[in-house]
A = this chain, B = another copy of it.
Amino acid sequence: MAKDKVNIYDVAKKAGVGIGTVSRVLNNSQKVKEETRDKVLEVMKELNYRPNKLAQNLASQTANAIAVIVPTFIDHYFVEVLKGIQDALEEEKIDLILYKIDKDEKMMDKIMDIVQSKKVDGIAAVTMDISKQDYKDLLKEDIPVVLADEKTSDFHSIYLDDIKGAEMAINYLLNLGHKKIAFIDGLKESQHGSDRLKGVKKALESRNLQLVSELLKFGDFHTKDGYQSMQEILSLPEEKWPTAVFAASDNQAIGVLQAMEEKELKAPDDIAVVGYDNIELAKYLKITTIWQPMYQLGHLTIEVLLKAINGEIEGKFSKELELKLLKRETA
Protein backbone atom coordinates (compact mmCIF):
# COMPACT_ATOMS: atom_id res chain seq x y z
CA MET A 1 0.00 0.00 0.00
CA ALA A 2 2.52 2.53 1.20
CA LYS A 3 4.36 3.55 -1.93
CA ASP A 4 7.69 3.44 -0.25
CA LYS A 5 9.80 5.00 -2.91
CA VAL A 6 8.78 8.56 -3.41
CA ASN A 7 10.84 10.09 -6.15
CA ILE A 8 11.26 13.32 -7.92
CA TYR A 9 8.30 12.61 -10.16
CA ASP A 10 5.96 12.21 -7.24
CA VAL A 11 7.07 15.51 -5.86
CA ALA A 12 6.79 17.21 -9.22
CA LYS A 13 3.33 15.92 -9.85
CA LYS A 14 1.97 16.76 -6.46
CA ALA A 15 3.50 20.21 -6.59
CA GLY A 16 2.21 20.73 -10.08
CA VAL A 17 5.62 21.48 -11.56
CA GLY A 18 8.17 19.72 -13.73
CA ILE A 19 10.92 17.54 -12.36
CA GLY A 20 13.43 20.06 -13.60
CA THR A 21 12.06 22.56 -11.14
CA VAL A 22 12.17 20.11 -8.29
CA SER A 23 15.75 19.37 -9.15
CA ARG A 24 16.52 23.06 -9.12
CA VAL A 25 15.19 23.63 -5.66
CA LEU A 26 17.00 20.52 -4.54
CA ASN A 27 20.27 21.96 -5.66
CA ASN A 28 19.57 25.61 -5.09
CA SER A 29 20.64 26.02 -8.65
CA GLN A 30 19.35 28.78 -10.87
CA LYS A 31 16.47 30.98 -9.98
CA VAL A 32 13.18 29.50 -8.93
CA LYS A 33 10.28 31.74 -8.10
CA GLU A 34 9.99 31.87 -4.35
CA GLU A 35 6.38 30.86 -4.47
CA THR A 36 7.18 27.78 -6.55
CA ARG A 37 10.10 26.86 -4.38
CA ASP A 38 8.02 27.07 -1.23
CA LYS A 39 5.38 24.89 -2.75
CA VAL A 40 7.94 22.31 -3.78
CA LEU A 41 9.63 22.37 -0.41
CA GLU A 42 6.29 21.91 1.26
CA VAL A 43 5.44 18.91 -0.85
CA MET A 44 8.86 17.40 -0.22
CA LYS A 45 8.20 17.65 3.47
CA GLU A 46 4.74 16.18 3.17
CA LEU A 47 5.95 13.25 1.16
CA ASN A 48 9.04 12.94 3.31
CA TYR A 49 11.05 13.01 0.16
CA ARG A 50 14.83 12.63 0.21
CA PRO A 51 16.83 12.41 -2.97
CA ASN A 52 18.41 9.18 -4.07
CA LYS A 53 22.06 10.00 -3.96
CA LEU A 54 23.05 7.16 -6.19
CA ALA A 55 20.98 8.70 -8.94
CA GLN A 56 22.23 12.18 -8.16
CA ASN A 57 25.77 11.00 -8.31
CA LEU A 58 25.34 9.13 -11.53
CA ALA A 59 23.65 12.03 -13.20
CA SER A 60 26.02 14.66 -11.92
CA GLN A 61 29.12 12.55 -12.31
CA THR A 62 30.35 13.28 -8.84
CA ALA A 63 30.32 10.91 -5.94
CA ASN A 64 30.34 13.26 -2.99
CA ALA A 65 32.61 10.85 -1.29
CA ILE A 66 36.30 10.24 -0.85
CA ALA A 67 38.21 7.06 -0.32
CA VAL A 68 40.68 6.63 2.47
CA ILE A 69 42.94 3.69 1.85
CA VAL A 70 44.97 2.12 4.59
CA PRO A 71 47.10 -1.00 4.74
CA THR A 72 46.44 -4.11 6.70
CA PHE A 73 45.73 -2.83 10.16
CA ILE A 74 43.75 -0.14 11.72
CA ASP A 75 45.97 0.06 14.70
CA HIS A 76 46.41 2.66 17.33
CA TYR A 77 48.85 4.46 15.13
CA PHE A 78 46.06 5.14 12.75
CA VAL A 79 43.54 6.46 15.24
CA GLU A 80 45.01 9.91 15.36
CA VAL A 81 45.19 10.10 11.60
CA LEU A 82 41.58 9.06 11.34
CA LYS A 83 40.57 11.66 13.87
CA GLY A 84 42.27 14.31 11.79
CA ILE A 85 40.52 13.02 8.72
CA GLN A 86 37.18 13.04 10.41
CA ASP A 87 37.58 16.53 11.70
CA ALA A 88 38.64 17.82 8.32
CA LEU A 89 35.57 16.26 6.80
CA GLU A 90 33.29 17.75 9.41
CA GLU A 91 30.92 20.29 7.95
CA GLU A 92 31.55 18.99 4.47
CA LYS A 93 28.77 16.77 3.36
CA ILE A 94 31.16 14.28 1.92
CA ASP A 95 31.12 10.61 2.70
CA LEU A 96 34.17 8.74 3.84
CA ILE A 97 34.64 5.29 2.40
CA LEU A 98 37.29 3.37 4.20
CA TYR A 99 39.23 0.81 2.23
CA LYS A 100 41.69 -1.57 3.72
CA ILE A 101 44.06 -2.84 1.09
CA ASP A 102 46.99 -5.11 1.69
CA LYS A 103 50.30 -4.08 0.22
CA ASP A 104 50.66 -6.95 -2.19
CA GLU A 105 50.77 -7.44 -5.95
CA LYS A 106 47.08 -6.84 -6.24
CA MET A 107 47.24 -3.53 -4.48
CA MET A 108 47.36 -1.22 -7.46
CA ASP A 109 44.69 -3.20 -9.21
CA LYS A 110 42.36 -2.80 -6.26
CA ILE A 111 43.07 0.88 -6.17
CA MET A 112 42.29 1.17 -9.84
CA ASP A 113 39.01 -0.56 -9.18
CA ILE A 114 38.12 2.09 -6.69
CA VAL A 115 39.17 4.88 -8.98
CA GLN A 116 37.15 3.67 -11.90
CA SER A 117 34.17 2.65 -9.86
CA LYS A 118 33.30 6.33 -9.74
CA LYS A 119 32.15 5.95 -6.19
CA VAL A 120 34.64 8.51 -4.96
CA ASP A 121 35.86 11.88 -6.10
CA GLY A 122 39.28 11.56 -4.62
CA ILE A 123 41.65 9.26 -2.82
CA ALA A 124 43.77 9.59 0.28
CA ALA A 125 46.22 6.75 0.69
CA VAL A 126 47.87 6.49 4.07
CA THR A 127 51.29 4.84 4.24
CA MET A 128 50.54 2.73 1.22
CA ASP A 129 53.96 3.03 -0.42
CA ILE A 130 52.28 3.66 -3.72
CA SER A 131 55.38 5.30 -5.03
CA LYS A 132 57.10 1.95 -4.90
CA GLN A 133 54.54 0.37 -7.17
CA ASP A 134 53.77 0.69 -10.80
CA TYR A 135 51.44 3.62 -10.55
CA LYS A 136 51.36 4.94 -14.05
CA ASP A 137 47.78 3.81 -14.60
CA LEU A 138 46.74 5.76 -11.58
CA LEU A 139 48.56 8.79 -12.88
CA LYS A 140 46.58 8.61 -16.10
CA GLU A 141 43.30 9.02 -14.31
CA ASP A 142 42.41 12.53 -13.49
CA ILE A 143 41.18 11.75 -10.02
CA PRO A 144 42.93 13.61 -7.22
CA VAL A 145 45.18 11.45 -5.09
CA VAL A 146 46.93 12.50 -1.92
CA LEU A 147 49.56 10.31 -0.35
CA ALA A 148 49.84 10.63 3.40
CA ASP A 149 53.05 9.64 5.12
CA GLU A 150 54.76 9.09 1.83
CA LYS A 151 57.00 11.37 -0.14
CA THR A 152 56.74 11.60 -3.88
CA SER A 153 56.53 14.25 -6.53
CA ASP A 154 54.02 12.50 -8.74
CA PHE A 155 51.11 12.94 -6.37
CA HIS A 156 50.14 15.41 -3.74
CA SER A 157 52.00 14.34 -0.70
CA ILE A 158 52.15 15.05 3.00
CA TYR A 159 55.00 13.32 4.69
CA LEU A 160 57.23 12.93 7.66
CA ASP A 161 60.95 12.66 7.42
CA ASP A 162 62.14 9.54 9.19
CA ILE A 163 65.73 10.32 8.47
CA LYS A 164 65.42 13.58 10.31
CA GLY A 165 63.52 11.97 13.12
CA ALA A 166 66.26 9.45 13.70
CA GLU A 167 68.88 12.14 13.47
CA MET A 168 67.07 14.17 16.08
CA ALA A 169 67.07 11.25 18.45
CA ILE A 170 70.71 10.39 17.92
CA ASN A 171 71.91 13.97 18.05
CA TYR A 172 70.06 14.43 21.27
CA LEU A 173 71.84 11.46 22.77
CA LEU A 174 75.15 12.57 21.34
CA ASN A 175 74.74 15.98 22.90
CA LEU A 176 74.06 14.28 26.17
CA GLY A 177 77.54 12.83 25.86
CA HIS A 178 76.67 9.33 24.74
CA LYS A 179 79.08 7.69 22.33
CA LYS A 180 78.11 4.05 22.41
CA ILE A 181 74.58 4.07 21.09
CA ALA A 182 72.54 1.04 20.11
CA PHE A 183 69.81 1.26 17.51
CA ILE A 184 66.87 -1.10 17.52
CA ASP A 185 65.30 -0.57 14.16
CA GLY A 186 61.93 -1.69 12.83
CA LEU A 187 61.59 -3.97 9.85
CA LYS A 188 64.60 -3.73 7.62
CA GLU A 189 62.39 -3.79 4.54
CA SER A 190 60.02 -1.05 5.60
CA GLN A 191 60.51 2.47 4.38
CA HIS A 192 60.33 3.73 7.92
CA GLY A 193 62.90 1.23 9.05
CA SER A 194 65.38 1.91 6.32
CA ASP A 195 65.03 5.67 6.58
CA ARG A 196 65.47 5.68 10.31
CA LEU A 197 68.59 3.63 9.89
CA LYS A 198 69.90 6.16 7.42
CA GLY A 199 69.24 8.93 9.88
CA VAL A 200 71.04 7.11 12.64
CA LYS A 201 74.10 6.52 10.51
CA LYS A 202 74.11 10.04 9.23
CA ALA A 203 73.98 11.55 12.68
CA LEU A 204 76.68 9.25 13.95
CA GLU A 205 78.96 9.86 11.02
CA SER A 206 78.67 13.58 11.37
CA ARG A 207 80.56 13.09 14.61
CA ASN A 208 82.88 10.54 13.15
CA LEU A 209 81.22 7.75 15.02
CA GLN A 210 80.23 4.35 13.65
CA LEU A 211 77.20 2.23 14.32
CA VAL A 212 78.61 -0.95 15.84
CA SER A 213 77.01 -3.93 14.13
CA GLU A 214 76.42 -5.70 17.43
CA LEU A 215 74.41 -2.72 18.53
CA LEU A 216 72.13 -2.68 15.51
CA LYS A 217 69.02 -4.84 15.70
CA PHE A 218 65.92 -5.19 13.61
CA GLY A 219 62.45 -6.02 14.79
CA ASP A 220 58.83 -5.61 13.91
CA PHE A 221 58.17 -2.48 15.93
CA HIS A 222 56.52 -4.51 18.68
CA THR A 223 57.31 -4.67 22.35
CA LYS A 224 58.60 -8.21 22.26
CA ASP A 225 60.98 -7.32 19.44
CA GLY A 226 62.47 -4.58 21.51
CA TYR A 227 62.64 -6.90 24.46
CA GLN A 228 64.47 -9.60 22.56
CA SER A 229 66.86 -7.21 20.89
CA MET A 230 67.76 -5.66 24.20
CA GLN A 231 68.29 -9.06 25.77
CA GLU A 232 70.72 -9.90 23.03
CA ILE A 233 72.54 -6.67 23.57
CA LEU A 234 72.70 -7.19 27.31
CA SER A 235 74.09 -10.66 26.80
CA LEU A 236 77.17 -9.11 25.29
CA PRO A 237 80.13 -8.64 27.61
CA GLU A 238 79.39 -5.67 29.76
CA GLU A 239 82.11 -3.50 28.31
CA LYS A 240 80.33 -3.68 24.99
CA TRP A 241 77.04 -2.41 26.35
CA PRO A 242 75.78 0.84 24.95
CA THR A 243 75.18 3.82 27.19
CA ALA A 244 72.06 4.66 25.25
CA VAL A 245 69.49 2.92 23.08
CA PHE A 246 67.37 4.42 20.39
CA ALA A 247 64.35 2.30 19.50
CA ALA A 248 62.41 2.82 16.28
CA SER A 249 59.11 2.63 18.11
CA ASP A 250 57.84 3.30 21.58
CA ASN A 251 56.62 -0.24 21.81
CA GLN A 252 60.11 -1.48 21.26
CA ALA A 253 61.41 1.05 23.74
CA ILE A 254 59.07 -0.43 26.30
CA GLY A 255 60.48 -3.86 25.56
CA VAL A 256 63.94 -2.44 26.00
CA LEU A 257 62.98 -1.02 29.36
CA GLN A 258 61.60 -4.38 30.42
CA ALA A 259 64.77 -6.19 29.48
CA MET A 260 66.71 -3.62 31.43
CA GLU A 261 64.48 -3.91 34.44
CA GLU A 262 65.15 -7.60 34.60
CA LYS A 263 68.80 -6.82 34.99
CA GLU A 264 67.98 -4.05 37.41
CA LEU A 265 69.17 -1.45 35.01
CA LYS A 266 67.54 1.98 35.13
CA ALA A 267 66.98 4.56 32.44
CA PRO A 268 68.50 7.01 32.01
CA ASP A 269 71.19 6.44 34.60
CA ASP A 270 72.43 3.03 33.51
CA ILE A 271 71.32 3.20 29.93
CA ALA A 272 69.34 5.99 28.33
CA VAL A 273 66.39 5.12 26.12
CA VAL A 274 64.67 7.06 23.36
CA GLY A 275 61.59 5.84 21.54
CA TYR A 276 59.57 6.88 18.53
CA ASP A 277 55.86 7.65 18.00
CA ASN A 278 54.73 9.05 21.31
CA ILE A 279 52.06 6.52 22.03
CA GLU A 280 49.84 6.88 25.05
CA LEU A 281 51.96 4.50 27.06
CA ALA A 282 55.12 6.44 26.30
CA LYS A 283 53.60 9.45 27.91
CA TYR A 284 52.66 7.48 30.94
CA LEU A 285 56.02 5.79 31.26
CA LYS A 286 57.74 9.10 30.63
CA ILE A 287 59.72 7.78 27.73
CA THR A 288 61.67 10.37 25.80
CA THR A 289 60.50 9.99 22.25
CA ILE A 290 60.03 11.42 18.80
CA TRP A 291 56.53 12.71 18.28
CA GLN A 292 54.89 12.50 14.91
CA PRO A 293 51.97 14.80 14.11
CA MET A 294 49.54 12.14 13.04
CA TYR A 295 46.42 14.15 13.63
CA GLN A 296 47.73 16.95 11.48
CA LEU A 297 48.74 14.43 8.89
CA GLY A 298 45.18 13.23 8.56
CA HIS A 299 43.70 16.67 8.68
CA LEU A 300 45.98 18.24 6.12
CA THR A 301 45.66 15.27 3.82
CA ILE A 302 41.94 15.78 3.60
CA GLU A 303 42.22 19.53 3.31
CA VAL A 304 44.48 19.10 0.34
CA LEU A 305 42.33 16.41 -1.17
CA LEU A 306 39.21 18.52 -0.96
CA LYS A 307 40.97 21.45 -2.53
CA ALA A 308 42.31 19.27 -5.27
CA ILE A 309 38.84 17.96 -5.95
CA ASN A 310 37.62 21.52 -6.25
CA GLY A 311 40.43 22.29 -8.64
CA GLU A 312 41.98 24.77 -6.27
CA ILE A 313 45.46 23.38 -6.41
CA GLU A 314 48.07 24.07 -9.02
CA GLY A 315 50.71 21.43 -9.58
CA LYS A 316 51.56 18.96 -6.88
CA PHE A 317 51.18 19.91 -3.28
CA SER A 318 53.99 18.72 -1.11
CA LYS A 319 54.62 19.31 2.54
CA GLU A 320 56.79 17.88 5.20
CA LEU A 321 55.38 17.88 8.70
CA GLU A 322 57.74 18.67 11.52
CA LEU A 323 58.65 16.06 14.09
CA LYS A 324 59.41 16.93 17.64
CA LEU A 325 61.59 15.39 20.27
CA LEU A 326 59.70 15.04 23.50
CA LYS A 327 62.15 15.17 26.33
CA ARG A 328 60.95 13.11 29.24
CA GLU A 329 62.66 10.94 31.77
CA THR A 330 64.30 8.00 30.06
CA ALA A 331 66.96 10.05 28.32
Contacts and interface: CB of A to CB of B under 8 A. Distances in A.
A116 B47 CA distance: 13
B54 A117 contact: yes
A82 B76 contact: no
A317 interface: no
Interface residues of A, number: 42
A250 to B, nearest CB: 11
Contact of A50 (B97, B100, B116): B116
Contacts of A51: 116-117
Contacts of A90: 100
Nearest to A284: B281
Nearest to A80: B74
A191 B51 CA distance: 34
Interface string A32-59: 0000000000000000101111110110
| Copies of this chain assembled into the complex | 2
B142 A119 contact: no
Contacts of A96: 97-99
Nearest to A86: B100
A118 interface: yes
A284 B83 CA distance: 25
A51 to B, nearest CB: 7
Nearest to A70: B86
B74 A82 contact: yes
Contacts of A83: 73-74
B4 A119 contact: no
Interface string A86-112: 100010000111111000000000001
A271 interface: no
Contacts of A280: 76, 280-281
A50 B112 contact: yes
A62 to B, nearest CB: 10
A75 interface: yes
A75 B52 CA distance: 32
10 contacts: A2-B140, A48-B137, A51-B117, A55-B58, A74-B86, A76-B79, A96-B98, A254-B284, A280-B281, A281-B281
Given A54-B58, A95-B97, 18 more contacts: A48-B137, A51-B116, A51-B117, A52-B116, A52-B117, A53-B118, A54-B117, A55-B118, A65-B97, A74-B82, A74-B86, A76-B76, A76-B280, A95-B99, A95-B119, A96-B98, A280-B280, A280-B281
10 smallest CB-CB distances across A and B, nearest first, come from: A53-B117, A50-B116, A54-B58, A52-B118, A54-B118, A96-B98, A97-B97, A58-B58, A53-B119, A54-B57
Interface of A: 2, 4, 48, 50-55, 57-58, 63, 65, 73-76, 79, 82-83, 86, 90, 95-100, 112-113, 116-119, 137, 140-142, 254, 280-281, 284
